[in-house]
Amino acid sequence: MSNLMTETWWWPYVMILVAGWLATDVWRWLGVFAGGKLREDSELFIWVRCVATALVAGVISKLVLFPQGVLGDTPIWLRLAAAALGFVCFLAVGQRVIVGVLSAVVFLLTGWWILGS
């Protein structure tokens, strides 16, 4: 069944609109209607934030450990080292995201180039 569905051209668009757009915007709309009624620092919201953070963190480590495409050709330790170095640089310069991203990319490219040549 799932094969049949994934092979039709319109199925990805249904996925994007229902599982992407609706599943995301529904929270924004609820936020508009609930504005001022629920406390933002309540225990419920702390838990909700924890679940969301852990889920996205899971995506992060999957992207580094099991990436799609050409990045998957690099050794796993190089990707881990690049991400770790980026994070350390980010912390070292007073939490500037752009520094973290750039240092990770430069490290990865340098390592990749040295290993390849």
Q: Which of residues 8-47 bind other proteins (CB under 8 A)?
A: 12-32, 34-38, 40, 43, 45-47
AA letter at 48: V
User: Binding other proteins by CB under 8 A: which of 4, 7, 8, 60?
Assistant: 60
- The verdict on 93 binding other proteins (CB under 8 A) reads no
Asked if 75 interacts with other proteins (CB under 8 A), we say: no
Distance CA 59, CA 83 (A): 14
100 binds other proteins (CB under 8 A): yes
Under the criterion CB under 8 A, does residue 73 sit at the interface with other proteins? yes
Closest distance between other proteins and the C-beta of residue 47, in Å?
Answer: 5
Contact call for residue 113 and other proteins (CB under 8 A): yes
In the complex, what is the shortest distance from the CB of residue 81 to other proteins, in angstroms, rounded to a whole number?
11
* Cβ atoms < 10 Å from Cβ of 66: 11
